[in-house]
Amino acid sequence: MKTPSNLIRPLVHNLHAYVPGEQPKIKGLIKLNTNENPYPPAPRVLAAVKAAVDGRLRLYPNPTAQGLREKLAKLHGCRPENIFVGNGSDEVLALAVRAFAEPSKGLSAIFGKQADRSKSVVQYFVPSYSLYPVLADIHGAVKNPVMLKFDFALPSPAELKRGRQWDFNAALSLVTTPNAPSGCGYRTAALAELCRAQKRGVVLLDEAYADFAAENALALALKFPNVLVARTFSKAYSLCFQRVGYCVGQAELVAALDKIRDSYNVNGLGQIAAEATLDELDYYRANFQKIITTREWLGRELTALDFRVLPSQTNFILARPPLFPAEDWLAKLRGQKILVRWFRAPELKDFLRITVGTPAEAAALVAAARKILHA
């Protein structure tokens, strides 16, 4: 029968799509739900984008984001061949799943009866970025979610071995570091231990929030043969709208991603904005400091109101609110025109994830919380 629904692959038909945070257009709403940067791009970045908007929009952009890759290579002390640029780091993640994990249906066809299930395994810690399971499902890979420790700490390789759930041969391991949505920072030494313990497969360290952390693991991408480090211009560099992310790693891994991407995967204005951003790093570093200062202030204020605030190395905090269930707090804060994020998952349902905004936005959140508590 030619009904539309049976024209769709069963895998796609049954898929649960990723649920992004809301982007409502309500006047006066303070938006602290999707970890966007509260500060605008540097004036010269805006000027560069505006100057590029003319008749040239009819032309295709550079297909390999060459200029941007050269600048990033200089920044990270590697070669352009070590850099892959994507349409946001979300695209980098999606391509990594496709490049390194075998769809489980195809496994026995390719490798026969002895097929090694690990070749299909995409594994990640729980909680972490909720896009990972969706990407694995889209590809028909095998998901292996592994719980983090108490307060979202990273298990050591020895603990992972004892737990018997982590697959040391998994085709792809996705590690959000610092962790989202907990904000928990991981030591580079601990991540190196994990990468070293992995016998086969690629480890992708998703460093979307690294600029707000005390240390980062970028050096591991150039040191290990099986490690990619993904970064994005979205959060720290105020460019969510432009969709530019990248990863760093061995040239062979980068070349594999390059083979399977769309021909013009990174839009031209995005390339221009990202390149201009790299000329203004002092502006952004000052913003990181402002956000970190506000984050620490917000943590202290909410703690004084009996929230249990987890230490954060990111531009958001995870906090367990007092008195009412977190889901009710979401609604009550919305009533005060403040939007935060709440996740239904059992390990997160008692918490709110709150993006660190400007000092004024953070103060408004604290004032609203006080009002809710004393109503």
Ligand X SMILES: *Cc1c(COP(=O)(O)O)cnc(C)c1O
CB of 320 to ligand X, least distance (A): 21
Q: Which of 176, 188, 312, 355 binds ligand X (CB under 6 A)?
A: 176
Helices in 224-344 by DSSP H: which ranges?
Answer: 251-260, 268-278, 281-304, 326-335
**Residue 87: strand, helix, or coil:** coil
**Residue 301 in the binding site for ligand X (CB under 6 A):** no
Choices 38-46, 87-95, 258-266, 284-292; region in contact with ligand X by CB under 6 A: 87-95
Nearer to ligand X, 119 or 152 (CB): 152
Q: Does 95 bind ligand X (CB under 6 A)?
A: no
Q: Residues binding ligand X: what is the number (CB under 6 A)?
A: 13
Residue 180 CB, nearest approach to ligand X (Å): 4
Q: Which of 107, 180, 227, 319 binds ligand X (CB under 6 A)?
A: 180
Closest CB to ligand X among residues 101, 366? 101
Q: By CB under 6 A, is residue 125 in contact with ligand X?
A: no
Spatial separation of the C-alpha atoms in residues 127 and 323, rounded to whole Å: 24
Residue 211 within binding range of ligand X, rule CB under 6 A: no
Query: Residue 238 interacts with ligand X (CB under 6 A)?
Result: no
Residues with Cβ within 8 Å of residue 66, at least 6 apart in sequence = 80
Which one among 42, 45, 80, 90 touches ligand X, defined by CB under 6 A? Answer: 90
Determine, following the binding rule CB under 6 A, whether residue 277 of this chain makes contact with ligand X: no
Strand ranges in 69-151 using DSSP code E only, listed in sequence order: 83-86, 121-126, 142-147
Distance CA 326, CA 319 (A): 9
Does 313 bind ligand X (CB under 6 A)? Our answer is no
**361 part of the interface to ligand X, by CB under 6 A:** no
Sequence-distant (≥ 6) Cβ neighbours of residue 180 within 8 angstroms: 35, 128, 129, 208, 209, 314, 316
**Would you say how long the chain is, in residues?**
375
How many CB atoms lie under 10 A from the CB of residue 87? 20
- Rounded distance between C-alpha atoms, residue 328 and residue 10, angstroms: 37
Q: Pairing between strand 83-86 and 245-248?
A: antiparallel
Query: For the chain, what is the largest distance between any 2 Cα atoms, rounded to a whole number of angstroms?
Result: 66
36 binds ligand X (CB under 6 A): no
CA angle 40, 303, 314 (to 5 degrees): 35
C-beta nearest to ligand X: residue: 88
State the burial class of residue 357 (Cβ atoms within 10 Å of its Cβ: 0-12, 13-18, 19+). buried
d(CA 231, CA 218): 9
234 in contact with ligand X (CB under 6 A): yes
Nearer to ligand X, 125 or 129 (CB): 129
Among the listed residues 30, 45, 208, 291, the single contact to ligand X using CB under 6 A = 208
- Closest CB to ligand X among residues 118, 238: 238
Which CB atom, from 129 or from 342, has the smaller least distance to ligand X?
Answer: 129
Quick check: 250 binds ligand X (CB under 6 A)? no
User: Would you say 107 or 266 has its CB closer to ligand X?
Assistant: 266
**Residue nearer to ligand X on the CB measure, 192 or 240:** 240
Query: Which residues are at the interface with ligand X (CB under 6 A)?
Result: 88-90, 129, 176, 180, 206, 208, 232, 234-235, 240, 245
